[in-house]
Structure 1
Amino acid sequence: MIELSGLTKRYGEKVAVDDLTFTVRPGIVTGFLGPNGAGKSTTMRMILGLDHPTAGDVRIDGRHYHELADPLTYIGALLDAKAVHGGRRAHHHLLCLAQSNGIPAGRVHEVLETVGLTAVARKKAKGFSLGMSQRLGIAGALLGDPRILMFDEPVNGLDPEGILWIRSLMKSLAAQGRTVFVSSHLMSEMALTADHLVVIGQGRLLADTSMADFIERNSRSYVRIRTPDRERLLDALHGAGITAVESGGGQLEVDGGKAEQIGELAARHHVVLHELSVRQSSLEEAFMRLTASSVEYHARTEPPPERPWGADRDTGTAKAAADAVTTTAEG
């Protein structure tokens, strides 16, 4: 179990983490979400004692990280897949970690097999792709057979087979009663993996709830309808006090869960329906809605206006080029 209480981190006047209090419990996969700059990585670094909090407290199974005699046997973490000495072979990298934490050397072979790197165990880490580095980092996290696992963007660089593998691995670890805490920007993957969500924005806690509850609270539920008798259905809906809006492609949408009422209404008016389905926003849409006011970096979505090619495009460059041509001609 990981317990944060009033955890705060300031860098000068910049507040990176602001009074965070939550608990990461065993037996489930807990997703850690937030926009870029929200403070996720800083929070994870403080959990591992890599950064010291300005205020507050964080404990791992009731103790601070520096109080753990053999930390890899309590918590395994992957924060930076490329944070490996490039000249070390995969096997030697893991062996060094094992020896410094009192872990039997035989465990190295076990985790290499688990992550699928047995065939490249003697290759140097500097030649690894990002996906291979991720697997090596996960092997390091698993090395001490810890009760707590923490992963920061674990699917980066993995191919579809690798993504399916890490998803299954995290679920199986949680099923064994372990604590699994994972940060990711891939909403579609998080939706398939996490049971519980902790969401932060600008260092502050925005949500600490189950996946299902988070989507229900922060998304729009509506009924989508397709019919060849559009005008007749609209008249029937209007008579029943139900508002429908067009959504393109001849489809209608009605907010709320009124599918049964709409179906019965259509049947009474002999309206043919080609589709009557209840829809709900995805995790990505729910996340965007909740964190809209907490996004620190905004990129423009529309392309810049086109400008004709010519001297006005870059007056300084054009003038310099013209001067150069004139000088050359005069010379």
Structure 2
Amino acid sequence: MIEAVGLTKRYGRTVAVNELSFTVKPGRVTGFLGPNGAGKSTTMRMILGLDRPTAGDVLVDGRHYRDLPRPLRHIGALLDAKWVHPNRTARAHLRWLAKSNNLPRQRVDEVLELVGLGSVAHRNAGAFSLGMAQRLGIAAALLGDPQILLFDEPVNGLDPEGIHWIRQLMKRLAAEGRTVFVSSHLLSEMAQTADELVVIGRGRLIDQSSTARFVERASGTAVRVRSPQLERLRTALASTSGAGVRAEDGALVVTGLTSDQVGEVAAAQGVVLHELSPQRGSLEEAFIRMTSGAVEYHAEESGEHLHLRGARGAEGTEGTR
């Protein structure tokens, strides 16, 4: 489990992370979302002891990362896929990491096969594509068979097959009872992968909830209903307190009521239903709505020209994620 309490990080006058508190629990994939400049990478660096918090604290299974005797056995992380000596082979890189944490040598070949790099283990990492480097970084994270895994943008550079693979890997790791914490800008991918979300903006917590609850709260829900007695149903629904009704493609879209409530109104009127299906907004729509006030840079169209403006003024830094 990862626990952050009042976590704060300042760089001069810039506040990268601002009194951030959240918990990442085992047995689920937790997505870490936020616009560029939100403080995601800074937060992950503080979890791993690479940056010292200005205030607050963050613990890994109740201990600071620096106090873990063999950290790779507790938490595996991928922050920067290219953080590898370019003249080291993939196998040599992992053997060096394994030796530093007193891990068995055979574990290196196990994780190389697991991530699909067994056939290129002898090649220098500097010649790897970004997708291959990502797989090597994931292998390093898995090396100590840790109970906690932390991935920063793990699907960058992966092809569709690779994205599908890492999605299934993260789900399998969570199903084994591990803690999986992953940041990504691919919201469609997070919608398929993450059970829970931690959403931040400008270094502050915006929301922590299940993915379904986040989308529902931000986007609302609607019910699509079709019937051969549509006008009769429309009249009944329109007179129901709290309901909003609009026609769409030969059906009615109802807001303010659950699908159960719509079905009960139809039954009371003796209306036959051909479709009764709840509709929810997308994670992307919910994310944009919830973080609209925390986006660091906005694109604005003015006539034929496109302008960029910093929403946080001169002190904003796009590189602080």
- TM tier, smaller: 0.7 to 0.9
State the partner residue of 1:92.
92
> 2-side partners of 1:78 and 1:239: how far apart?
55
> 2-side partners of 1:238 and 1:24: how far apart?
43
- TM superposition score normalised by structure 2: 0.85
SS where residue 209 of structure 2 aligns?
Answer: strand
Q: Deviations over 1:259-297 (max 9, x none)?
A: 455556667878786644221112222222221221222
Q: Deviations over 1:155-214 (max 9, x none)?
A: 111122211211121122122222111111122221222222111111011112222332
> In structure 1, which of residues 289, 302, 305 is the aligned counterpart of residue 303 of structure 2?
305
State the partner residue of 2:210.
210
Unaligned 5+ residue runs, structure 2?
306-321
Q: Aligned pair in 2 of structure 1 residues 91, 251: CA closer, same or farther (>3 Å)?
A: same
Higher helix fraction: Structure 1 or Structure 2?
1
> 2-side partners of 1:46 and 1:238: how far apart?
53
Q: Does 1:289 align with 2:289?
A: yes
State the partner residue of 2:246.
245
Unaligned 5+ residue runs, structure 1?
308-331
Q: Aligned pair in 2 of structure 1 residues 72, 258: CA closer, same or farther (>3 Å)?
A: closer
Q: Deviations over 1:28-75 (max 9, x none)?
A: 211111111110000000111111111111122222222222221121
Whether contact under 8 Å (2:29, 2:174) holds in the other structure is yes
Whether contact under 8 Å (1:257, 1:278) holds in the other structure is no
SS where residue 16 of structure 2 aligns?
Answer: strand
Alignment of structure 1 residues 155-170 onto 2, 5 Å: 155-170=155-170
Bigger mean CA offset, 147-156 vs 229-238: 229-238
Identity %: 65
SS where residue 205 of structure 2 aligns?
Answer: strand
Q: Aligned pair in 2 of structure 1 residues 146, 244: CA closer, same or farther (>3 Å)?
A: same
Whether contact under 8 Å (2:234, 2:252) holds in the other structure is no
State the partner residue of 2:124.
124
> 2-side partners of 1:268 and 1:7: how far apart?
54
Q: Deviations over 1:88-125 (max 9, x none)?
A: 11111111111222112111101101101001101111
> 1-side partners of 2:57 and 2:304: how far apart?
53
Q: Which has the higher contact order (CA 8 A, sep 6+)?
A: 2
Backbone CA RMSD of aligned residues: 2.4
SS where residue 298 of structure 2 aligns?
Answer: coil
Rg (Cα) greater in structure: 1
Bigger mean CA offset, 199-208 vs 59-68: 59-68
Higher strand fraction: Structure 1 or Structure 2?
2
Alignment of structure 1 residues 259-298 onto 2, 5 Å: 259=259, 262=262, 275-298=275-298
- TM superposition score normalised by structure 1: 0.83
